[in-house]
């Protein structure tokens, strides 16, 4: 896996670097898909099962029969699918900085984490069993592990790293932008955590995010909070084991996932140079865990805050990842299921 093990690259990507190419950039196409997900419908909190997904098709897609690699992008907590990346994709593809690619932008407006939860619904199932087959059926993708990458920002970055470990063989490369790799590691219950889920709407900031991650990791519809916490009690040990298994920067977790990590062709990680109000410390701990088991990665140190300069960071990750994916074929073979109706009928 040709990456930068123990080597950190400082990347200075100013807006002007890409803006100069905006004017002459060929434009891709954005298709807004709405999928009614049986997996998401399995939630207790009235989250809509109709999921909106933006699909970016590169310039020239309509005029060819070739297939393309696919990047799946999970945005940060409580963030809808966004068009903010589109001009940057157009410019990067037109300039040859990245090869033409299909990009699938997910919507996580409700702040959910892409895990299966008896409370929040089957989000991992939605992504792995519904969305990926749908995209492969409806678009000319390279329908193979080596034709797909999963990337994400913040909590979306955490999911982008967790899912390929739990579901190996779907994505062949990973990109993380200041990922929330503290998830599952901070077991101390926030002081302002309410006793009942009915009070959840009053939460803000870290406590709200911590609670949603907890509901994803250890859901319990019988609990007043709808989840279990790793505190003293009869089930303490099992709950703590479950939380620890979600803490990706722990060396023991990385070691247990060595096989899944080693099959990835690229792990690219954007680490902000700013320590305050970013996840820099947890990203560094994660790279140390990867070092200990000999897993290579590309670490890109970039300026800015936690949510700063996301489009340029997105392109920097894509630039690292896309060369490791299969670049498609002049004529796309469609031997797999070719319509969403047939996929649903086969389930």
For 241-300, the three-class secondary structure string (H helix, E strand, C coil) is HHHHHCCCCCHHHHHHCHHHHHCCCEEEEEEECCCCCCCHHHHHHHHHHHHHCCCCCEEE
Contact 120, 286 (CB under 8 A): no
Band (343; pLDDT cuts 50, 70, 90): very low
Adjacent-strand bridge partners of 71? 103, 149
Say if residue 337's pLDDT is above 60.
no
Residue 23 confidence (pLDDT): 56
Dist. CA 247–CA 176, nearest whole Å:
15
Dist. CA 286–CA 297, nearest whole Å:
11
Say if residue 249's pLDDT is above 90.
yes
pTM of this structure:
0.85
Say if residue 235's pLDDT is above 80.
no
User: Helix, strand, or coil here: 7?
Assistant: coil
Contact 266, 324 (CB under 8 A): yes
The token pair at 174 is 């990973």
- Average confidence (pLDDT) over 196-213: 78
Residue 79 confidence (pLDDT): 62
Cα dist. 31→64, 102, 124, 128 in Å?
17, 11, 23, 20
Provide the strand spans (E) within the chain: 8-10, 29-36, 50-57, 70-74, 102-105, 116-117, 121-122, 148-153, 173-177, 266-272, 298-302
Q: Which residue has the tokens 């489009």?
A: 311
Say if residue 96's pLDDT is above 60.
yes
More confident position, 183 or 300: 300
Domains and CATH numbers, the chain: 8-183+247-346 (3.40.50.1820)
Contact 33, 325 (CB under 8 A): no
* Among the ranges given (115-129, 217-231, 240-254), the one the predictor scored with the smallest mean pLDDT: 217-231
Residue 22 confidence (pLDDT): 58
Q: Which residue has the tokens 């140390």?
A: 288
* Among the ranges given (67-71, 268-272, 308-312), the one the predictor scored with the smallest mean pLDDT: 308-312
Say if residue 212's pLDDT is above 60.
yes
Q: Over pLDDT 70: what percentage of the chain? A: 84
């Amino acid at each position: 896996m040709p990456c930068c093990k123990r080597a950190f690259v400082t990347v200075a990507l100013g807006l002007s670097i890409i803006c100069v190419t905006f004017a002459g950039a060929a434009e891709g196409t954005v298709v807004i898909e709405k999928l009614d997900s049986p997996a998401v419908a399995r939630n207790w909190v009235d989250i809509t099962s109709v999921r909106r997904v933006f699909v970016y098709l590169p310039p020239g897609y309509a005029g060819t029969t070739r297939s393309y690699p696919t990047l799946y992008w999970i945005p940060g907590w409580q963030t809808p699918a966004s068009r903010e990346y589109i001009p940057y994709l157009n410019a990067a593809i037109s300039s040859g900085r990245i090869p033409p690619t299909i990009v699938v932008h997910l919507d996580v407006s409700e702040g959910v984490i892409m895990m299966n939860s008896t409370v929040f619904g089957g989000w991992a199932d939605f992504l792995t069993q519904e969305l990926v087959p749908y995209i492969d059926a409806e678009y000319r993708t390279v329908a193979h592990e080596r034709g797909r990458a999963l990337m994400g920002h913040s909590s979306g970055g955490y999911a982008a790293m967790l899912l390929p470990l739990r579901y190996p063989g779907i994505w062949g490369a990973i990109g993380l932008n200041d990922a929330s790799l503290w998830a599952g590691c901070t077991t101390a219950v926030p002081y302002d955590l309410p006793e009942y889920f009915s009070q959840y709407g009053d939460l803000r900031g870290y406590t709200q995010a911590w609670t949603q991650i907890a509901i994803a990791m250890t859901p319990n519809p019988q609990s007043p909070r709808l989840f279990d916490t790793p505190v003293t009690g009869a089930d303490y040990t099992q709950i703590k084991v479950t939380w620890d298994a979600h803490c990706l920067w722990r060396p023991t977790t990385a070691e247990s996932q060595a096989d899944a990590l080693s099959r990835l062709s690229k792990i690219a990680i954007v680490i902000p140079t700013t320590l305050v109000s970013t996840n820099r410390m947890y990203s560094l701990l994660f790279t140390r865990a990867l070092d200990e088991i000999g897993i290579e990665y590309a670490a890109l140190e970039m300026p800015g805050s936690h949510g700063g300069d996301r489009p340029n960071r997105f392109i920097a990750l894509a630039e690292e990842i896309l060369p490791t994916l299969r670049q498609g074929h002049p004529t796309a073979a469609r031997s797999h299921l070719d319509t969403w109706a047939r996929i649903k009928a086969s389930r």
